[in-house]
């Protein structure tokens, strides 16, 4: 498994597992946990979840998946902005820990920016680190100006990552946000890497996939994995899709493939507002 270094110096897999959409139907929970366990077996040991996903249901699926294997996992969860006051963040973290059945999160993210002052959330993150409830903290869905402001706050330089919407059809962040993160040695964590499946019928992806003996999803993932400083977190609930995602690591796109993808999905030439799903 290829790894990427966080600002702390710790390494994490460049290809992890997302859980958005899991935990919403009890009858599917066992299959979802089985898929996550397979991903762990294949080396995708970073698991991303959130208190919002399935109203905590996704965290319960993760609990099942990592039971007896906690030491293998780099565990990421998120606090909703409406819960992100100093006391609210700590309480939300405690609830997440209880649902997941663990005593710590490896990384805790502010899901997106809300009305609570960032200083309050950072104070809570600092307290959670001091008490051993979390190891690192970061943010999600922050644009460049948000990141620049965050960096000026007390403790703001400790931010470990910014998790954002990033895929071939959502390249706006390459204009200024990606360069900012690279300048600050901060990885970008890309969610919805295949645009929830909507990318997979694109002719350019299908043509490259056919030529390379791969699938369109693997081409989309391989393109993201080619971007330096990027962690990719696809979700899969089917074992065949889990294996397909893992195999994307072995797909090396040629220069002509990358050029064809740039032609089909042009990089930004101006600042665009941050996109979210």
218 within a domain of the structure (yes/no): no
| Residue range 239-252: mean pLDDT, rounded | 97
246 within a domain of the structure (yes/no): no
Q: Identify the CATH number of the domain in which residue 114 sits.
A: 3.20.20.100
262 within a domain of the structure (yes/no): no
34 within a domain of the structure (yes/no): yes
Total domain count for the chain?
1
pLDDT at position 1: 87
State the catalytic residue, choosing from 53, 108, 166, 191: 53
26, 28, 31, 34: CA torsion to nearest 10? -40
Domain hosting residue 115, numbered range: 9-197+230-237
- List, for residues 147-193, the tens digit of each pLDDT value: 999 999 999 999 999 999 999 999 999 999 999 999 999 999 999 99
- List, for residues 195-213, the tens digit of each pLDDT value: 999 999 999 999 999 999 9
260 within a domain of the structure (yes/no): no
205 within a domain of the structure (yes/no): no
242 within a domain of the structure (yes/no): no
pTM score of the predicted model: 0.97
Whether residue 53 lies in the annotated active site: yes
């Amino acid at each position: 498994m290829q790894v990427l270094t966080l600002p702390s110096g710790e390494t994490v897999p460049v290809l992890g597992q997302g859980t958005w959409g899991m935990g919403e139907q009890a009858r599917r929970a066992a299959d979802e946990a089985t898929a996550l366990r397979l991903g762990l077996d294949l080396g995708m040991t970073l698991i991303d979840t959130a208190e919002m996903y399935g109203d905590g249901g996704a965290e319960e699926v993760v609990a099942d998946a990592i039971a007896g294997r906690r030491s293998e996992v780099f565990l990421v969860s998120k606090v909703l902005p409406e819960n992100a006051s100093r006391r609210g963040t700590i309480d939300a973290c405690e609830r997440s820990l209880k649902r997941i059945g663990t005593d710590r999160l490896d990384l805790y993210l502010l899901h997106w920016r809300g009305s609570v002052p960032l200083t309050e959330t950072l104070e809570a993150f600092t307290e959670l680190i001091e008490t051993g409830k979390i190891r690192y903290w970061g943010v999600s869905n922050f644009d460049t100006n948000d990141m620049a402001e965050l960096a000026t706050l007390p403790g703001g330089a400790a931010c470990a990552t910014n998790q954002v919407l990033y895929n071939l059809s959502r390249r706006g962040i390459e204009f200024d946000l990606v360069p900012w993160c690279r300048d600050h040695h901060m990885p970008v964590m890309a969610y919805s890497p295949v645009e929830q499946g909507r990318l997979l019928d694109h002719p350019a992806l299908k043509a490259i996939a056919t030529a390379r003996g791969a699938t369109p999803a693997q081409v989309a993932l391989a393109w993201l994995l080619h971007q330096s400083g990027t962690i990719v977190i696809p979700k899969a609930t089917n074992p065949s899709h889990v294996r397909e995602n893992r195999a994307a690591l072995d797909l090396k796109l040629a220069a002509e493939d990358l050029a064809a993808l740039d032609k089909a999905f042009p990089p930004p030439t101006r600042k665009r507002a941050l996109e979210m799903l």
